[in-house]
Structure 1
Amino acid sequence: MKITSLGYLRVESPDAKDWATFGPEVLGLAVSEDPLGRPNTVALTNDDRPGRIVITEGQQNRLQCAGWELPSAEDLADAVEELERAGVAAQRATAEQCEAARVRDLVSFTDPAGFTHELFYGQLVVPGSFKPGRAMSGFVTGGQGLGHIVLVVPDLVQSLDFYRKVLGFRISDEIDMGGNRLIFFHVNPRHHTLAIMAIPGMRGLHHLMLQVDSVDDVGRAHDLCLDRKIPLAMTLGRHTNDRMLSFYLRSPSGFEIEYGWGAQTVDDEDDWVVTHMKSTSIWGHRPGDAPAPGCVEPIQG
């Protein structure tokens, strides 16, 4: 399957309206107009593709879906056939759903952990339209996509098999952390676009990473969080595997935002060697004052 990037996220949250200020004023995201004019929906972006992050008001904090980009209609058709061969039912979107996602076509399916995913092609681009919500240099996107996400899954082996064998994600490396095994996957030069860790009986979005163009953007955002008393999940630090310098803040919807700079890339797939580490960070990333994540919940039923 030819997944090339993480194209978008959709999230449900009782506090969706808070993103109208949190997104631009804290993260520097731009507000996008919702194509369907839906009330109580906040659409944001970190580049010239409007609506990469959409938060809709709902009863709970949860990931509604992750959208994965494919190069063409032919690749989408091939992907549907691959899903069917793997016994995964794919549902074709309506014209209204494609309009809401700002794509030419998409299909949705559910993975073994219970997450909804969408495969799409033809995402809307409006050249020169991105204007950050506050003064900053911008974000690293392009061929690397929106950023990366980390998901909590109930069964690591089951999810690992699905993402590798069905969706075609490639392992970058692994980290052993407090008895948990974190597995990092890449689909483009970004060191990882997805990572998974297992907590039996639990499922949810742990964090979304947004990578900025300048280390000063990280410092200014960190100061802004301190000034506004926004809870930090982890302090400034540098990761062992992708060398990202970052900190983690709690979003209004319970999951964390990793705000970072300077990650290494997978420049040559053929020469990449998978390794594993015993710590997530070279320095820093100490626990902050934020409460436990609110977007990771027990699986019901």
Structure 2
Amino acid sequence: MSGFLRPNIDGSVFGAVHLGYVVVQSNRLPDWRRFAADAIGMHVDETGADALRFRLDDRACRFLVQRGPAEDVMALGWQVDDHESFDRIVARVADRGVPITEGTSAEAALRGVERLWRFAGPKGLAQEIFTVAVTTPDPLRMLSSGWVTGDAGMGHVAIISREPESMRGYYHTVFDSRLSDYIDENVSGLKMKIRFLRVNERHHSIAIANLRGVKIDPIRTRVQHINIQSATLDDMLASFQRVKDLGFRMAWSVGQHTNDRELSYYCVTPSGFELEVGWNPIVIGPELESTWEPTTYRGISIWGHSTVGETVLDKFAQFRQALRTVSTPEITVPELIDGGLTNRPHRTRGHGRGEPRLSDNGRSGRTRLG
């Protein structure tokens, strides 16, 4: 358990929530297997003919890819450290009239958890919470030497939203998320603002971007990218080379971010959203937490992160998608959007480039986020 204040002291679940797994639906399972195992370097387990599970550590599952047509992320799984924090989250959801249901034993087994509960999230992303993950003594068979998980969770998720303040309010209400910082960036002549939210010591577990002044979403998938963190710089660079050598699409070359200082690259998964493989971001531990102030950065990258392989067809596809979103409301969960989010003073930095209770039962072109 982390060194942050526990809920029985300050009424917050901050520090007790960690991104535990991601659920993807895809009909491209052979491509996903090759991508995850041979290019990225994850451990892959087959679960029957209709699912793959990817491991990063001793957990039985970090990515679950199930057969289906969506080619998208369907659910985010959040581990909650203790029963009190779990009950607090459940009460926040249920007391506001949002249905929360227990997943089946089969669903829990596939996700590598003992039990899980599910409720609605923004953009149709189901939020699943659990307390006990299933671990396995089976050795990891993977090209990577390791991945950084632990108290920081397995990585982060980045989302483009036409309702960014609503999404920020949702995660503030449910998980007591805190604003780490902002990035302002120009993308193909449009101004993008990105909000970075943390729920534990990881600099951000959720990044939320919007195009300022226009309510459009230029990508098809619910998430823009998922991030995982390599244990070593050599691991990150080796996977970058394998992605290129094996013919998978590279979206952005190796570079370093302005805000969390992570070195990373972005490639395109078989389902179309991006995977960011990074190394060595800032960790906001208890000492930094006590004095942290949100900052606005000008530009996503200090260096690198150049566009790779974007075509005119890619731009047309993004344009068509953006037009579709103009007349289609974005899914929000208004019951879980509390007002009162305060704008703390912040600096600007530039760079020229049913109610269950667990305690009863045990620079131009492609859109890119930090």
CA separation in 2, counterparts of 1:243 and 1:192? 12
* Secondary structure, aligned partner of 1:247: strand
Equivalent of residue 227 in structure 1, options 230, 237, 245: 245
Residue in structure 1 matched with residue 194 of structure 2 by the alignment: 182
1:25-84, Cα deviation, whole Å (9 max, x unpaired): 1111001353xx3x2211101111012101112112121100011013443222111112
Deviation of 1:290 after TM superposition, in Å, equals 4.9
1:165 match: 173
User: Could you say which residue in structure 2 is the equivalent of 1:289?
Assistant: 309
C-alpha separation in 2, matches of 1:228 and 1:62 = 22
Per the alignment, residue 364 of structure 2 pairs with none
Q: Evaluate the alpha carbon distance shift between residue 290 and residue 60 of structure 1 in structure 2; reply closer, same or farther with a 3 A threshold.
A: farther
Hey, which of these two has a bigger chunk of strand by percent? Answer: 1
Structural RMSD (CA): 2.3
Normalising by structure 1, report the TM-score. Answer: 0.90
1:95, distance to aligned residue in structure 2 (A): 2.4
Select which of 125, 128, 132 maps to 1:122. Answer: 132
Q: 2:285 aligns with which of 267, 270, 276?
A: 267
Which residue of the partner structure matches residue 280 of structure 1? 300
Give, in whole Å, the separation in 2 of the partners of 1:86 and 1:4.
20
SS at match of 2:168: helix
User: What corresponds to 1:47 in structure 2?
Assistant: 57
2:161 to 149, 153, 160: 153
- 2:24 corresponds in structure 1 to 11
Query: Greater CA deviation, 79-88 or 140-149?
Result: 79-88
Q: Do 2:175 and 2:199's aligned partners in 1 also have CA atoms closer than 8 Å?
A: no
Q: Taking structure 2 as the reference length, what is the TM-score of the superposition?
A: 0.74
In structure 1, the partner of 2:81 is 71
Establish whether residue 238 from structure 1 lines up as the match of residue 256 from structure 2: yes
Query: Are 1:94 and 2:107 matched, yes or no?
Result: no
Structure 2 runs not aligned, ≥5 long: 1-11, 330-370
Cα deviation for residue 4 of structure 1 reads 1.9
Q: Counterparts of 2:69 and 2:60 in 1: how far apart (Å)? A: 25
| 1:193 Cα offset (Å) | 1.2
Amino acid at match of 2:25: E
CA distance in structure 2 between the aligned counterparts of 1:18 and 1:27, rounded to whole angstroms: 12
1:133 paired residue number: 142
Over 3 Å counting, the alpha-carbon distance change for 1:188 and 1:164 in structure 2 is same
Residue deviations 1:251-293 (CA, integer Å, cap 9, x gap):
1111111111111110232121211111000001011115659
CA shift, 1:96, in A, is: 2.5
Rounded to whole Å, the distance in 1 between the matches of 2:236 and 2:123 is 33
Cα distance in 1 for partners of 2:141, 2:161 equals 33
- For the 8 Å contact 2:64–2:111, the answer to whether it is kept is no
Instruction: Report the AA paired with residue 222 of structure 1.
Output: F
Stretch deviating more after TM superposition (94-103 or 46-55): 94-103
Give yes or no for contact 2:17–2:175 (8 Å, CA) kept in 1.
Answer: no
Structure 1: runs of 5 or more not aligned: none
Q: Percent identity?
A: 29
Task: Work out the CA distance in 1 between the residues paired with 2:227 and 2:75.
Answer: 16
Is 1:191 equivalent to 2:203 in the alignment?
A: yes
8 Å Cα contact 1:174/1:277 also seen in 2: yes
SS state at 2:38 partner = helix
Change (3 A) 1:133 1:103: same
Q: 2:113 aligns with which of 94, 97, 103?
A: 103
Give the length in aligned residue pairs. 296
Larger Rg: 2
Residues in 1 aligned to 2:310 and 2:76: alpha-carbon distance in whole angstroms: 25
1:155 Cα deviation after fit: 0.6
Cα distance in 1, alignment partners of residues 193 and 30 from structure 2? 35
Measure, in 1, the Cα distance between the counterparts of 2:223 and 2:290.
31
Question: Which secondary structure state, in structure 1, belongs to the residue aligned with residue 223 of structure 2?
Answer: strand
Is 1:218 the equivalent of 2:236? yes
| CA deviation after TM superposition for structure 1 residue 142, in Å | 1.4
What amino acid is aligned across from residue 186 of structure 1 in structure 2? R
**Matched position secondary structure for 2:123:** coil
User: Structure 2 CA distance, aligned partners of 1:152 and 1:130?
Assistant: 37
